[in-house]
Amino acid sequence: MTALSPATARDQMQRLIDAVGQVLVGKTHAIELALTGLVAGGHLLLEDLPGVGKTTLALALARLLGLSYQRLQCTSDLLPADVIGVSVYDRRDGSFRFHQGPVFTQILLADEINRATPRAQSALLEAMEERQVSVEGRTLALPSPFFVLATQNPLEQVGTYPLPESQLDRFLMRVSLGYPARAAERELLRGRDRRELLSELTPVLSLEVLQQLQASVATVHVSEPWLDYLQHLIARTRELPTLVHGLSPRAGLAVQSAARAWALLHGRGHVVPEDLKAVFPAVVGHRLRLRNDADSAASVVAALLREVPVP
Amino acid sequence: MTAAAPLGRAQLWWVIAVVSLAVAPHAPRLPLALPLCFVAFAGWRMLGAYGRVALPDAANRALWWLLQGVAVLTFALIYDHYQGQLGRDAGVALLTTLLGLKLVELRTPRDFYVTCLLTYFLVATNFFFSQAIPTALYLLGVTVLTTAALARANTPPGVSGPACGWLAVRMVAESVPLMIVCFVIFPRLPGPLWGVPTDSSQAITGLSDEMTIGRIARLGTSDEVAFRVDFDGVRPRARYLYWRGPVLWQTDGRTWRAGPQALSEPPPVIARGTRYRYEVSLEAHGQRWLPALDALTSTSAVGSLGRARELISTQLVKRPVRYTVESAVDYSILEISPADRAAALALPPGAHPKTRALAQSWRTRDPAPGVLIDTALALFAQDPFTYTLLPPLLKGDPIDGFLFATRAGFCEHFAAAFVVLMRAAGVPARVVTGYQGGEYNSLSDYFLVRQSDAHAWAEVYLAPRGWVRVDPTAAVAPERVSLGIGSFTERDGALRLLDDKGMAMALWRSTRQLWDSANYQWSRWVLGYDVERQRGLLESLGLQDLSPAALAAWLGGLMSVPLVVLALLVLRSPAPRKTPAGRAYARFCQRLARVGLVRAPHEGPLEFAERIALTHPDLALQTRHIAQLYALVHYGDRGAALHGLVQAVRDFRPRRR
């Protein structure tokens, strides 16, 4: 797979962002982060209230990329077989045939993932990590690209199973969409039906270009001063008294690949500290455990970024 | 300094709490109005913080003037109360008042820090008044809390109160080694600081140079420490523990006095058997006598020997003293000068007629001194004589009244009566006061002698044997001597309750021993660490004859070495050398800083450029260009762009608008 030049990569990604922006108004930063996650090959956790556009975002991405799309509504009676698939006896053949579950798709929207039981959650999350599933002794590869957009409602709701930290770590980023701005909401209210708009979307990026973009991420140059900066930040999380524990090396790798994708999105062949700062809150926010519930991860991360000097 | 955020209520509570804790021990020492003022000031500030009352500030001129008035009034009060003498007490009063006034004015974080630092100083002033262990522990606690208040103000809001407390404990604990170095090496001043009188010169109890009937009884109920004795090696048995104090020769019939000291040398002592070497740590008593085990065989630099071989200090004992002497319990003092013999036989004319008549009758029966002593002791051992710490009042001639009427008393009654009997019968005799016994502390291996161990006994001169100790109290109440005074005070007093419960008593005893042991070590090693001890310690470390200036140099040296090492470590580790691009960018930032555009350390080059572009559109083009070139060279490893960057920075001349 040949890598694209930074400028081409930026233009391609920008086209996609503009197209999504037609449907999901006023959420450029969230769309950019989502695309960054997709290009960096990670999965996305959308944490927000119902009705702010999570599904719209997932659908728009699937349609604009021409990818297959499945939606998995997580409930407390969801079983692993409902995710992965099930073998059914075929009377004609006299044998069992495997019926693929919703996980066999390119873009999977796992809605309200924290409503599923830990058993169903782990089946999904393992598939996310391995990009393959094992059924009855056979290993079936998942399609490529495989991009999961999981949503969850804020935790203080009844009947949910919060994802444990080890599972949260599987998500490259956690993004909140939030309420739209006043003008954006007005446009939404005046505009046409979202479903109608979505159905009209046509692919703007081919699968090949997406794979080229993913391949380009690895070519983005990472300099020594930039790595110093990343390491200082990570080291600081490990000594902050407000945190139960600091960031893992895996978190460092995640920040690096997200920052590379972000640099690409902005047409740079190298990462600058600003790239790191742009993706840092989304990448590490869900990986930090606060000692005091009264603080928010966002404020701690913001304070951290204000504290560590840029080399 | 920029306008800082006002102090939060939590910080106010912290600072008012620590200042109050530091002021609290001073409160009873100050004129009553000052602590009340302090409480009023603190209350004013706190109510102000909750918006209940107005605070004096620029907006409220009237209140501001009121505060000035109150300040002047309190200063006048201090001046009046201390008669204009600016000493320790007035200084503390002034500091307390100023801190109280400062509380009303607490507004900015700077006020908060200043007040906390002054609190440390106020904590230290408490040591002018007391250096006891509880004081030190209390003030250590206040120090930790003050540090916690500072930590609280300097940590992000997420850190909890207990976490700040722990941080403070850790910081104070980490400063302990430095404290020890300072304590050991800091030049000691001979004598107390600035002539500050020590606590112990006030409210002194103890034996005096005279004995009036009734005096030792008062001591007998006092639990205060008289002195402690640490024997070097073997210690004598309990029945030999007679601690010689003032020896009383003269009497006017009621009061006994030491009388003038002879100019001649004291009589020599012939010692047999073990010589006991021991260190006495004497509490201040304001007199001159120094207790020593009978009989002294050596002398000490702190005092000289009196005419009855008692140790007398060269100056009044107004501070605790420590001295090492040697004694032997098996001894003879054979010599008696004619003047001493005359003094040891003198009785006031006309006093004690009945006693004299009794002694005369004994003498006519058998004039041998040994027989006379036995007769007197046998008299005391007879039934009507009882030992009690609460004797009936003696009317008229005290000796006659005691021997023939009341027949109840304690050591000084028996000793005085016995000496009068001996003198009347022609045997030279004198009263010796001092202490008998002592409580052995097995934890730290020393004897504790309390004021309640005060005792009086007699010495008679027998021709071949010399001066011989006779303890008439032992004849009437042998357990006073063998068990100590405790057996009597406890029977009489409140401790009887514990006496019934052996376990409780033992527990009480061992707790008391533990506490006294701690006090002893504290006064020995901390309070008693004076010029001599310091010199001794430093000599053992190989530092002889250091002047205070040299000591200060050592102290500075010892403290600066770790600091220099630390500084080198800090300077060496991060801060890598700047690249050419880094230098160019630093110059660029410098030029912007000169026109008031300062890059925050956490700002990346592109961010910084965007910020400038937003506020200074005229600079936007250049700054964005330079930032992109720098990012390219610094983060993109494009060395080719360096030339352009250097050139662009050279041409960059922002002007202040």
The rounded percent of chain A whose pLDDT value lies above 90 is 15
pLDDT at B119: 93
Spell out which residues of chain A touch residue B634, defining contact as CB-CB under 8 Å: 223, 225
Is B144 in the same domain as B216?
no
End position of a domain, from candidates B481, B499, B517: B499
Q: Distance between CA B374 and CA B362 in Å, rounded?
A: 11
Sequence-distant contacts of B85-91: CB under 8 A, at least 24 apart:
B87/B196, B88/B128, B88/B194, B88/B196, B89/B29, B91/B125
B221 & B96 share domain? no
Digit-coded pLDDT (tens) for A66-83:
888 888 888 888 888 888
Together in a domain, B477 and B381: yes
Domains of chain A: 1-203 (3.40.50.300), 220-311 (1.10.8.80)
- The CA distance from A158 to A280, in Å, is 30
B27, two tokens: 């409160």
Q: Does one domain contain both B303 and B408?
A: yes
Q: Which residues of B380-399 are buried (b: 16+ CB within 10 A; e: fewer)?
A: beeeebebbbebeebeebbb
Query: A291: nearest CA in chain B?
Result: B158
Do the Cβ atoms of A309 and B634 come within 8 Å? no
Domain shared by B157 and B229, yes or no:
no
- Residue from A274, A279, A300 to probe the interface with B (highest B Cβ count within 10 Å): A274
Residue B2 falls inside a structural domain: no
- Residue B27 within a domain: yes
Q: Could you say which of B156, B606, B631 has the minimum Cβ distance to residue A242?
A: B156
Picking from A272, A275, A289, A308 by the largest number of B CB atoms within 10 A of its own CB, the best residue to mutate is A272
Determine the pLDDT at residue B493: 41
Would the CB atoms of A273 and B637 count as touching at under 8 Å?
Answer: no
Range of the domain at B639: 580-651
Look up residue A180 and give its two tokens: 């739209």
Q: Which of B128, B159, B174 delimits the end of a domain?
A: B174
Residue with tokens 């006496």: B499
Give the nearest chain A residue to B638 (CA atoms): A270
Residues of chain B with pLDDT under 50: 1-4, 192-204, 490-499
Choosing from B294, B400, B471, B516, the catalytic residue is B471
| DSSP H/E element including B161 | helix B161-174
Residue B509 lies in a domain: no
Residue B15 is assigned to a structural domain of this protein: yes
Same domain membership, residue B243 and residue B127: no
Which one from B285, B413, B455, B634 is the annotated catalytic residue? B455
Residue B593's H or E segment, with its range, is helix B580-594
Q: pLDDT tens digits, residue range B380-410?
A: 887 678 887 777 777 778 888 888 888 888 8
Catalytic status, residue B411 = yes
- Do B454 and B586 share a structural domain? no
Q: Domain boundary residue among B447, B465, B499?
A: B499
Place of tokens 């065989």: B297
pLDDT of residue B22: 93
Residues of chain A in Cβ contact (below 8 Å) with chain B: 221, 223, 225-226, 241-242, 268-274, 277, 290-292, 294-295, 300, 303, 305-310
- Looking at residue B143, what is its pLDDT? 94
pLDDT at res. A294: 63
Check pLDDT > 90 for residue A262.
yes
Question: Do B592 and B493 belong to one domain?
Answer: no
pLDDT of residue B1: 34
Report the chain B residue with the minimal C-alpha distance to residue A272: B635
Q: How far is CA B94 from CA B20, B81, B138, in A?
A: 15, 11, 22
Residue B299 is predicted with a pLDDT of 76
What confidence score (pLDDT) does residue B169 get?
A: 92
Based on the fold, state whether residues B240 and B359 are members of the same structural domain.
yes
Put simply, the answer to whether A270 touches B604 (Cβ < 8 Å) is no
Q: Which residues of B touch A308 (CB under 8 A)?
A: 602
Maximum Cα–Cα distance across chain A: 70
How much is the pLDDT for B196? 46
Determine the pLDDT at residue B39.
92
Is B140 found in the same domain as B248?
no
pLDDT value of residue B137:
93
Where does the pLDDT of residue A257 fall: very low under 50, low under 70, confident under 90, or very high at 90 and above?
A: very high
Average pLDDT estimate for A299-311: 86
pLDDT tens per residue across span A13-68: 998 898 888 888 888 888 899 899 989 988 988 888 777 888 888 888 888 888 88
Instruction: Spell out which residues of chain B touch residue A270, defining contact as CB-CB under 8 Å.
Output: 631-632, 635-637
ipTM exceeding cut-off 0.90 for this assembly: no
Asked if residue B156 and residue B39 are part of one domain, the reply reads yes
Binary contact (B606, A295; C-beta < 8 A): no
In a shared domain, residues B155 and B254: no
Cβ contacts (< 8 Å) between A289 and chain B: which residues? none
Least CB–CB distance from A272: residue in B163, B600, B606: B606
Can B471 be counted among the known catalytic residues?
yes
Cβ proximity of A147 and A39 under 8 Å:
no
Cross-chain residue pair B634–A225, CB shorter than 8 Å: yes
> Please, which residues have CB within 8 angstroms of residue B352's CB and are 6 or more apart in sequence?
B253, B397, B399, B400, B420, B424
Note whether residue B457 is domain-resident. Answer: yes
Interface residue B155 vs chain A (CB under 8 A)? yes
Is B554 domain-assigned? no
If one counts the domains in chain B, the total is 3
Task: Answer whether residue B284 is part of any domain.
Answer: yes
In a domain, B87, yes or no: yes
